[in-house]
Amino acid sequence: MSTSDRRVLVTGAAGGTGGAAVREALALGLTVRAMVRTLDDRARALADQGAEVVVGDFQDITTLRPALEGTDAAYFVHPMRPGLIQATVNFAQAVKETGGPPVLNLSQRNTSRESTGISTRETNLSQEVFTWSGVDVVHLRPTMFLEWFLYPWILPNLRKGKLWMPAGAGTSSIVGTEDLGRAIAALLKEPSVHIGRTIPLSGPAELGQAQMAAELSDALGREIVYEDCDLDEFVATIAAFGVPEYLVGSIRGIMIDYRAGRLGGADDTIEKLTGRRPMSVAEFARKHAALLNGAE
Ligand SMILES: NC(=O)c1ccc[n+]([C@@H]2O[C@H](COP(=O)([O-])OP(=O)(O)OC[C@H]3O[C@@H](n4cnc5c(N)ncnc54)[C@H](OP(=O)(O)O)[C@@H]3O)[C@@H](O)[C@H]2O)c1
């Protein structure tokens, strides 16, 4: 089968990792079906890039079957919102009914049924459901995303010279969604040797928050210091942005896991899969300098 004959489904295509996976899979020459919830400007941009856009809802299995029909591999990503377990069951069932393309399942580095974060607990159960459903699955476990630096409860403090997070001495080999997209595209092209595996996905270096602040300082040419903050104050700040309760509670749990070192670890999976080293904190900061400095 030639690369262009290989049709892959990317769900969450209007989102962070899904959008990056669509771009990178098209760049590899794959035929890409991009699943979105609504036909909005983001969907039109995907079509302009060359993707076949389909509308689908994880909560409605009748929309998943046509999305999966005729595909050779699929990327499954659910946002940090309620509904992951139902979505997993629907997706696994639809995969079985449509000939069983291998599934790349986006989980979390710290996934655990003991976590205090609901989304972290649910990713653990979702992994189990995919595994015992019998579909061919590869579980992807990325650590924190570099895009954290742009979140509305982090960015205003970075502009004032503070990396304000309740991360204690926790470490992470923080990784960009662009690099995740490249790894996902490579796996969509050639998933077979990875089926049944759980794959960690990391940035180029495991860093503590003070080291991240130092890299941000060097890249932006101004001092940024890490300030470890109170967990409840951090959570209250996020809630004040109108962030839904499920996400606030999930972030709370992730911060507890972070402090406890459960997002740590390093690997060179992305470089091995794609032949290119993933982006560092400094490279990300230079790329988004205008935003991080408050100039846009
Ligand atoms: N952020 C981190 O640091 C981090 C670290 C490790 C793992 N993760 C994992 O990454 C995942 C999020 O990935 P992401 O950033 O790529 O997500 P994202 O940007 O939130 O995108 C998710 C997409 O799913 C779509 N969607 C929502 N509900 C849907 C439904 N019922 N049916 C079909 N599509 C639906 C959304 O569409 P709309 O935009 O139209 O609503 C959105 O485009 C989470 O599962 C999280 O656990 C995150």
Best residue among 62, 84, 112, 145 to mutate for probing ligand 1, ranked by most atoms within 8 Å of CB: 145
* SS3 of residue 46 by DSSP: helix
Q: Is the CB of 200 under 6 A from ligand 1?
A: no
Distance of CA 18 from the midpoint of ligand 1 (Å): 8
Q: What is the pLDDT of residues 244-279, one digit of tens each?
A: 999 999 999 999 999 999 999 999 999 999 999 999
Q: Do 59 and 90 touch, CB atoms closer than 8 A?
A: yes
Best residue among 9, 11, 17 to mutate for probing ligand 1, ranked by most atoms within 8 Å of CB: 17
Q: Do 253 and 238 touch, CB atoms closer than 8 A?
A: no
Q: Over 80: is that where the pLDDT of 1 sits?
A: no
Task: Return the percentage of the chain with pLDDT > 90, whole number.
Answer: 97
Q: Over 70: is that where the pLDDT of 296 sits?
A: no
Ligand 1 atom 6: residue of nearest CA: 108
- Count the Cβ atoms, other than its own, within 10 Å of residue 252: 20
Span 3-144+174-202+265-278 CATH architecture: 3-Layer(aba) Sandwich (3.40)
Q: Do 112 and 124 touch, CB atoms closer than 8 A?
A: yes
Whole-Å CA distances, 294 to 154, 215, 226 = 13, 18, 19
Q: Over 90: is that where the pLDDT of 100 sits?
A: no
How far apart are alpha carbons 107 and 78 in whole angstroms? Answer: 9
Q: What is the pLDDT of residues 160-176, one digit of tens each?
A: 999 999 999 999 999 99
Banded pLDDT at 295 (limits 50, 70, 90): confident
Q: Over 80: is that where the pLDDT of 131 sits?
A: yes
Q: Over 70: is that where the pLDDT of 144 sits?
A: yes
The string of DSSP letters for 124-139 reads HHHHHHHHHHT--EEE
Q: Is the CB of 58 under 6 A from ligand 1?
A: yes
Q: What per-residue confidence (pLDDT) applies to 3?
A: 85
Q: What is the pLDDT of residues 10-29, one digit of tens each?
A: 999 999 999 999 999 999 99
How far apart are alpha carbons 58 and 103 in whole angstroms? Answer: 14
